[in-house]
Chain A
Amino acid sequence: MSGQSQQSDTGFRPLNPSDQVLLAIDQEIRRDGNHGSHCGFALELHGELDITALQNSLSELQADFPALSSRLEQRGKTFGWKTIDDPIPFHHYPCPEHTGSIAEFQHNTMLSILNNGTTIDQSAPLQFHLIDGDSRRLLLLHWFHPLLDARGVKLILDYLVSGKRQRYTAKDFSLIDQRLKRWSLWETLKMAWNGKQYNDHIDRLNSDLPTPGSIGKQQLQCINQSFSTEQTVTIQQLAKQTVGMGYHSIYYIGCLMRALHRVGMAVKNDAICVPYAFNLRQPNAPVPVLGNHVSVLFSQAPHSVIENREQLFKHLSKQYAQTIRQGQDYSFIPWMWIGRWMSLEKYGKVLRQQRGGGERGSVWFSDIGELRFPSDTLFGATICGVRHLCILTSPPSFAVLFGQFQGRLNIAYNFLQPDIDSDWVHSVNRTLQQELLNDSNAL
């Protein structure tokens, strides 16, 4: 039904339905005065990095994936990537001689890169930034979200260190379009109906928000929390005991709801609603590299349920199991297909707003799971940590991103200032640690 070619011979690559969702969100972010839906994934590197080899690899990457050097273009109602043949941008930030704190220099440089974007028609889909330090450097992959999802960025890193690059250059396709093609018209309509019912159900309760939001241009800030390997093992065991092995992310969401409930949010309504993306990519599959292949699910609980930890996890597990059992996880896909024919402004509203006009999502959430690279090194340097960044809409102006690397759970709190106060984020962090470790004396 929607099987159009991803790459035409004119070098124009149309967005898939999931990319279009991210483009609508990009427009919402720009309407707030910020620089669109940009994300960052940074590797902490220890030891000597062979910069020449890295730059050579970027040229090879570009040759294999021309859409990585392109600009967004609109043709009629279709948006897509028009190849421009410029090199993939690579910027190097030497450490100033008289800098106070190197960690602060690196952190502020990263934030400044994301806070100083360009207009939509000038936004490079992917850029690399090398930020020097003393023993540790940061290599930041900065991407424009309509280009690809976080798993795609991980695949680009895999490609750079892989000796078998042909694995990543095989057939390119949209998993969303592929899924749509599997269904008959009747099945598609049934899915769309399921999606509407699911959304209506979520919209019965108005969501709490950390800020009323939208006061004009703001600055992205980020606070990182890393757990020890021992703490991470404890958290994983607690997750399994509390919600079972199949509900890993639900444990994080429940703990986050509890922390937000305990700390309190600026706009208090009926419930906390946490939207999260599920990825249609198969774990470890090397293709497709480009494109977003995600759909949306929600976890929602009223305050009366959140108050009781045991009751909350029962509620969330049941909600999640029901969603999967009833096939509601795929039910947004037909709507994403229809969304391509809406104006971006209308689509943005549909995606964000509840019937009553409030923001549906109380917070942005992501769990990218355990990150494993094919090699521990990248062009001679050892990969010793990862960081995540994303610009978001206002409201909710607050994103909590979970990920695990080398057996350690990491949380990145991304938030917009002055919408969100950093003291409040520190309070949420302290309370979330207690909830994850189920220990009020955890700190």
Chain B
Amino acid sequence: MEIRTPLRQFVLTELIYCDDINVFDDDEDLLEAGLDSMGIMRLIMFAEREFKVTLPDTEVEPDSVRSINALIGWIEEHRK
């Protein structure tokens, strides 16, 4: 199942605000863009539900949630 499109859609429309989601780069800093602690929790729930993975709370590190690409890497790691 493709991750990038639904993940981008969820993060950029539900969790953080950006004027134009089409110009938001996949390496842009999500924490700087406003992803907060509640947003991170919602993101984990979304990923677990949509991509059938378990993302342990203990692995919630800035590096895991820093960007769309980092998130995809984290999710992929747990899908293996």
Contacts and interface: CB of A to CB of B under 8 A. Distances in A.
A324 interface: yes
B41 interface: yes
25 contacts: A167-B19, A244-B60, A245-B62, A246-B37, A246-B41, A246-B57, A246-B60, A247-B41, A247-B57, A248-B36, A282-B14, A282-B15, A282-B16, A282-B17, A282-B34, A283-B15, A283-B16, A283-B34, A283-B39, A284-B16, A284-B17, A321-B41, A324-B38, A324-B45, A325-B45
Interface string B2-35: 0000000000001111110000000000000111
A94 interface: no
B41 A324 contact: yes
B57 A278 contact: no
A244 B34 CA distance: 18
A49 B22 CA distance: 40
B12 to A, nearest CB: 10
A47 interface: no
B58 to A, nearest CB: 7
Contact of B42 (A248, A286, A324): A324
Prevailing SS type, chain B contact patch: helix
B77 interface: no
Which has the most chain A C-beta neighbours within 10 Å: B14, B16, B41, B60? Answer: B41
Contacts of A286: 17
Interface in B37-75: 37-42, 44-45, 57-58, 60-62, 65
A231 B15 CA distance: 29
A317 B19 CA distance: 33
Q: Give 8 closest A-B pairs by Cβ, nearest first.
A: A283-B34, A285-B17, A248-B37, A282-B17, A284-B34, A246-B40, A245-B60, A246-B41
A247 B16 contact: no
A216 interface: no
Nearest to A284: B34
Contacts of B35: 283
A207 B43 CA distance: 32
A200 B7 CA distance: 35
A427 interface: no
Which has the most chain A C-beta neighbours within 10 Å: B14, B33, B36, B38? Answer: B38
A286 B17 CA distance: 9
Contacts of B40: 245-246
Nearest to B31: A245
A325 B55 CA distance: 13
Contacts of B34: 282-284
Contacts of A422: none
A244 B17 contact: no
Contacts of B33: 283-284
Interface in A251-310: 278, 282-286
A286 B39 CA distance: 17
A369 B19 CA distance: 22
